[in-house]
Structure formats: structure tokens, C-alpha cells
């Protein structure tokens, strides 16, 4: 009988570890996305980043008009402002989940636009290999946005659900499996 109890405790500990890892992963995903947007957004105000985006934005029908209308330096700064604002909006999840959801939706649009550069930028596919072999730059550089798009989609969905529930607190406040709301968990139980 004691063996059954030990297996149950082990399973419970495993579930708790799984929940802890999931909670940590959730934070790394959301706030990693925030960090990337803030960091890359701030870099858009530098000369080297402005020059780095030039082949991407000049060759895309979605952004080439903006280069003509605003100039490369101003467009880079505008993109930077958008990235910073979206990052700040996503960061509000703990107290304003609806704002966070809107920021995540904006990031979805941003990453979808960025991913179109895979189709329009010269040199995306490695010479001599072609599709599906992306070049180190800009191909592999752009391919990482698939993951960022996925994080933005997840973040939007999770924040929308939280806003709908009226949940302004992280899921960490939800009682652990097997624990009833309002009861304290003590060692050995």
C-alpha cells in the first residue's frame, strides 16, 4: 500500500515540476518577446541597423513605398517606435491583459510582414543550393521570425483568455493540481 502512495507522490511531484517548468517557459516566451522587441526597436535608431534593414525594406512591395515616402532613416525610426510600443504593450499582461493581447496582435502583423521578406529579398536562398537552403544572411536571420510569430500568436491567445476571465494575475496564482482554492499546502501533504 505504501508503494502506491509513493507512486502518487512521485506523480504529484512530477506534475508540480511540469507546472513550474511551464510557468517559467511562459515567462521566458512572453518577456523574451518583449526584450527582443524593445532591444531591436531601440537599435532601429542606429546607423548600422538602418543600413541593415535597407535591402529588406527596399525590395518588399509592402514597405518600398514607405522608403520613398519617409526616407530610410525615418522609416527605420518609425519601425523602432512600433517595435518598442508593441513590446511595452505586451509587457502589461499582469495588469492589463487586453492591452497585452493587442500588442501581441500587432507583433503578429509585424512578424508576418517581416516573413514576407523571405520572398522578396535577394540572397535569401544560398547560391548553388536554392530553396530550401537559406543563406546565413538574410535567410537564416529572417527564418527566426517564424518562432517569434508563434510566440506572438500564443501570447495574444493567452492574454485574450485572461482578459475574458478578468484575470489580471499570472496563472501562477491558480492552485496547483490537487489543491483546493483557499487551502494552504503544507509540507508532506
At residue 45, the pLDDT reads 98
Residue 92's contacts (CB-CB under 8 Å, 6 or more residues apart) are 99, 100, 103
CA-closest candidate to residue 31, choices 85, 106, 88? 88
Amino acid 175: pLDDT: 44
Angle at 72 between CA 80 and CA 53, to 5 degrees: 65
* Residue range 57-69, pLDDT digits in tens: 999 999 999 999 9
Q: Where are the domains of the chain?
A: 2-171
d(CA 61, CA 38): 26
Q: Are the C-beta atoms of residues 148 and 142 closer than 8 Å to each other?
A: no
Look at residue 166 in the predicted model and tell me its pLDDT: 82
Read off the DSSP letter of residue 169: S
Q: What is the pLDDT of residue 5?
A: 61
CA distances from 37 to 14, 48, 129, 145 (A): 34, 17, 32, 12
Q: What is the pLDDT of residues 5-24, one digit of tens each?
A: 656 556 678 888 899 999 99
pLDDT beneath 70, residues of the chain: 1-11, 167-189
Our measurement of the distance from residue 187's CA atom to the centroid of its chain's CA atoms, rounded to an integer in Å, reads: 36
> CB–CB of 93/100 below 8 Å?
yes
Question: Whole-model pTM?
Answer: 0.81
Amino acid at each position: 500500500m505504501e508503494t502506491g502512495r509513493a507512486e502518487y507522490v512521485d506523480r504529484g511531484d512530477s506534475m508540480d515540476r511540469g507546472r513550474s517548468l511551464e510557468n517559467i517557459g511562459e515567462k521566458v516566451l512572453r518577456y523574451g518577446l518583449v526584450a527582443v522587441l524593445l532591444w531591436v526597436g531601440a537599435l532601429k535608431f542606429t546607423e548600422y541597423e538602418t543600413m541593415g534593414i535597407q535591402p529588406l525594406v527596399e525590395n518588399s512591395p509592402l514597405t518600398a513605398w514607405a522608403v520613398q515616402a519617409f526616407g530610410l532613416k525615418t522609416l527605420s525610426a518609425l519601425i523602432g517606435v512600433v517595435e518598442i510600443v508593441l513590446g511595452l504593450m505586451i509587457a502589461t499582461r499582469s495588469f492589463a491583459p487586453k492591452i497585452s493581447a493587442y500588442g501581441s496582435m500587432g507583433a503578429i502583423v509585424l512578424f508576418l510582414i517581416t516573413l514576407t521578406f523571405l520572398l522578396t529579398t535577394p540572397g535569401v536562398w544560398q547560391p548553388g543550393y536554392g530553396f530550401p537552403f537559406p543563406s546565413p544572411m538574410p535567410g537564416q536571420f529572417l527564418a527566426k521570425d517564424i518562432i517569434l510569430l508563434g510566440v506572438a500568436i500564443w501570447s495574444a491567445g493567452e492574454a485574450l483568455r485572461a482578459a475574458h476571465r478578468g484575470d489580471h494575475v499570472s496563472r501562477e496564482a491558480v492552485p496547483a493540481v490537487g489543491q483546493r482554492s483557499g487551502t494552504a499546502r503544507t509540507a508532506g501533504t
